[in-house]
Structure 1
Amino acid sequence: MSTPRFLTLPPGVREQRIETPVGTFAALEALPVSGVPERCPALLVPGYTGSKEDFIAIFQTLAQAGRRVVAIDMRGQFETEGPDDPAAYTCAALGEDIDQIAAVVGDGEPVHLVGHSFGGLVTREAVIGGATKLASYTLMSSGPAGITGPREKACRLMLRELPEVGLAHLWTHRLEPEAIVAGVPDEIVDFLRRRLFANSPTGLVSMAEEVLNAPDRLADLREVGVPILVLYGEHDDGWSPLTQAEMAESLDADIVVVPGALHSPAVEAPETTAHALTRFWNHAEQHPAHPA
């Protein structure tokens, strides 16, 4: 496992492998540069076609608040291997993985769980299941059911084209040109290509179906006694800001709207996002819904 050259790891961040009873997961771990972690650890879960590197920009700020922070590649993502069985990539199956990873990261203590986009649909399965010992739960740029908006259209197009033309054609004729037009630097385009091709092909198809067709589970989530934060960019092009605001109200959750951000606040506004998470986590530890 190697971090791309341009993705320089901040001080206190290192590559890790998390061993669990259900497999080994590639991870990045951040620790305070000075002192020892004194607060509950955090586990960050990326979205569809994403990876642990999506959180690099917020690692150092989060860890310096006094906690261990871990981000993972889910099963079949980037540097975590996955099987060819489509059933391994349902939200329920991936949620069971999160249970196991959280148990290792927490080592018997509660964890702050964050799910970005599709990662939100996955992590809520672990939250609703009740096996994961939680200090808090954050839905970052995620929603109550299947994704909507422009990202829904892009996902449906990918799902249709993948079996027909293959990943190489999709990258060369659509995804790479889109990145270049958007002004993405060459070295990041190279990383995105290598990350995409490292994904499990079966996982890419199955996860796309899951993110498009996920059912609404807000009623189940409302029954969970854990502090919840809904955090999203003011210009989110996945689930609309209105949908996420209504979800937060339904869950009686805290809400943070990140100015200027779209669908990836941890990349687009890292300091604002990191400080919002730290503030929420600290408050959750001081005022737990269910004291340990």
Structure 2
Amino acid sequence: MSQLLSIDLPECARSVQLDTSRGTFAALDADVPAPATQHGTALLVPGFMGSKEDFLTLIPHLNAGGMRVVAIDGRGQYESGEASASSSYTRDDLALDLVAIVQALDDGPVHLVGHSYGGIAARAAVINTGGDKRLWSSLTLINFGPGAVSTWQQERLRLLLSVIGTMSMADIWPHVKNTEVSVPENVSLFLEKRWLRTSPNQLAAAAEHMLSEQDSSQALARTLVPIAVVSGTPDETWEPTRVEAMAHNLGAQFIRIEGGGHSPNVHKPQETATSLLRFWQQSSKANKVSL
């Protein structure tokens, strides 16, 4: 779970509702103001128990680098709710959601970023579309590993699965909230509100995915989409050694963010943004050469 330190909305971003062929998704949209030149669009996908607010401190740094930045609540997360009458949370359905969002933005191809569990949907979207260059300029996986989460995290997920459906979300909250880091009261209240508005069905499906995820690095590499793997340390969700090994197997650019923890987008936003902007610039040049 991301531990937010602030919920202040950056001046460059606005809250929007994205109407797509797959339903309506809540998002934060930070356009590049004229007369500055837009260098691309980044689509940010949050992780388990997360939301678009996980990227609040990252967005202004990326935007200042000339990027339009769109951060979403996925299906079942916080303000997106079920998004549509279809409440399926299969990997393929989540991947289709991302494709529909890119098409609705009509500003592609995008630099797709999946944080933690968000990497599952992001990776599936790129693989399922064969790395369609009309959709994806690049893929970045932040603190995401090749397969199932660590043994320690598996125990926590199985415990959560054992109570979802038998306990209310309000009763579960005291057992899942992060008490290791002191945060302002408004942040604490927001985290509880976000938890209560998250779909139990989405949480259960996400937990199952993280317990059963298989390494699809070979299929991802075959798409030829430029890839970066970001590893904030220390982290116990996916072991950093496995994350680095995955980057090597993918032929991806590997970026280590010391002190970034599980959420370098929160704890080291400037360093993370600088690394992402550099990678996107390089991948954009590579895409032009390949064309």
The two structures share one fold, judged by TM-score above 0.5: yes
More deviation, 96-105/25-34: 25-34
Counterparts of 1:50-129 in structure 2, within 5 Å, are 50-82=50-82, 88-107=88-107, 109-129=108-128
* Shift in alpha-carbon separation, 1:103–1:37, aligned structure 2, 3 A: farther
- Per-residue CA shift, 1:189-208, capped at 9, x if unaligned? 21111001101121111121
Contact 2:82 2:199 in 1 (8 A): yes
Aligned residues: CA RMSD: 2.2
Number of the residue aligned with 1:162: 164
* Alpha-carbon separation, structure 2, partners of 1:212 and 1:146: 5
1:257 alignment partner, SS class: strand
Distance 2:51 2:83 in 1: 17
Q: Distance in 1 between matches of 2:198 and 2:288?
A: 37
Q: Does the CA-based 8 Å contact 1:149-1:237 persist in structure 2?
A: no
User: Who is 2:145 aligned against?
Assistant: 143
Structure 1 counterpart of 2:25, one-letter code = F
Change (3 A) 1:269 1:143: same
- 1:3 aligns to what? none
CA contact 1:86–1:202 (8 Å) conserved in 2: no
The amino acid of 2:210's aligned partner reads V
Task: Supply the AA of the counterpart residue of 1:94.
Answer: L
Question: For residue 18 of structure 2, what is the aligned residue in structure 1?
Answer: 18
**Superposed, which structure 2 residues align to 1:89-238 within 5 Å?**
89-107=89-107, 109-130=108-129, 131=132, 133-172=135-174, 174-176=175-177, 179-238=178-237
Whole-angstrom distance in 2 between the partners of 1:17 and 1:191: 20
TM-score, length of structure 2 as denominator length: 0.91
Q: Distance in 1 between matches of 2:87 and 2:77?
A: 15
**Using the alignment, how far apart are the partners of 2:221 and 2:290 within structure 1?**
18
| Contact preservation (8 Å) 2:165, 2:200 | no
Structure 1: gaps (5+ residues) = 1-5
Counterparts in 2 of 1:136 and 1:166: CA distance versus 1, 3 Å:
same
CA distance in 2, matches of 1:10, 1:85: 32
In structure 2, the residue matched to 1:32 is 32
How far residue 87 of structure 1 moved from its aligned partner, in angstroms, is 6.5
Partner Cα distance (2:117, 2:214) in 1: 13
| C-alpha distance in 2 between matches for 1:63 and 1:84 | 30
- By how many angstroms is 1:257 displaced? 0.5
Give 1:175 deviation, angstroms.
Answer: 2.5
Query: How far is 1:222 from its partner?
Result: 1.4
2:58 partner SS? helix
The one-letter amino acid of 2:75's match is R
One-letter amino acid matched to 2:143: S
Distance 1:263-1:142 versus aligned 2 partners, 3 A rule: same
Cα separation, partners in 2 of 1:36 and 1:289, compared to 1, 3 Å: closer
Check 1:23–1:83 CA distance in 2 against 1; reply closer, same or farther (3 A cut). closer
Paired residues of 2:42 and 2:69 also in contact (CA < 8 A): yes
Over the matched positions of the two proteins, sequence identity in percent amounts to 36
CA contact (8 A) 1:120 1:140 kept: yes
Separation of aligned partners in 1, 2:84 and 2:103 = 26
The structure 1 segments of at least 4 consecutive aligned residues displaced by more than 3 Å after TM superposition are 83-87, 289-292
Contact 1:117–1:142 (8 Å) recurs in 2 = yes
Contact 1:41 1:105 in 2 (8 A): no
- Unaligned 5+ runs, structure 2: 1-5
The CA distance in 2 between the partners of 1:148 and 1:100, in whole Å, is 31
2:262 is paired with a residue whose SS is coil
Q: Match for 1:82: what amino acid? A: E
Partners of 2:186 and 2:95 in 1: CA distance: 32
CA contact (8 A) 1:105 1:111 kept: no
206-215 or 256-265, which moves further after superposition?
206-215
Q: CA deviation at 1:164?
A: 3.2
In 2, distance between residues paired with 1:34 and 1:268? Answer: 30
SS at match of 1:104: helix
Looking at structure 2, the residues matched to 237 and 262 of structure 1 have their Cα atoms a distance apart, in angstroms, of: 9
One-letter identity of the residue aligned with 2:68: R
